[in-house]
Structure 1
Amino acid sequence: MRGRRGVPSIRGVAPGALEREGIVVRQLYCERPPRYDYVLTPAGEELMPILEALKQWGDRHGFQRLGVSERA
């Protein structure tokens, strides 16, 4: 997981959707080829404790209940 300012990798969620909802902003670097990073907004920062709690719960319970032996 990245630092508090960087956005962690989230499978299945389009960064554009998070940007439209005000969770992240896109930061352009002046490089060739163009490179973008997504940075959490204050609203996105507020979600971090909730996402961490969900991750911890999933680590403890989620995959056993789903019958999945390891993460995809």
Structure 2
Amino acid sequence: MKVKDLEKLIGQVIEIIYEDKSGKITQRSVEVHGIKGDLLRATCLTTGGPRVFRTGSILAWRRAKARHAG
């Protein structure tokens, strides 16, 4: 994952496929707050908590689809 591709997404919600250090793969929606080095700082919208993701472990990402009430 190229950091410069993610920098333009600061403040936006994206969906990621992520592989953690134990090899577990998860999909989650996150709100991107910042990038520092190879770390992406975000709020996980699944748990509501702050998270830090290694950009090299993000296998895929896309902008989250807008959700409409009603």
Bigger strand fraction: 2
TM-score, structure 2 as length reference: 0.23
TM-score, structure 1 as length reference: 0.23
Specify which structure has the bigger relative contact order, considering alpha-carbon pairs within 8 angstroms and separated by 6 or more residues. 2
**Based on CA coordinates, which of the two structures has the bigger radius of gyration?**
1
Bigger helix fraction: 1
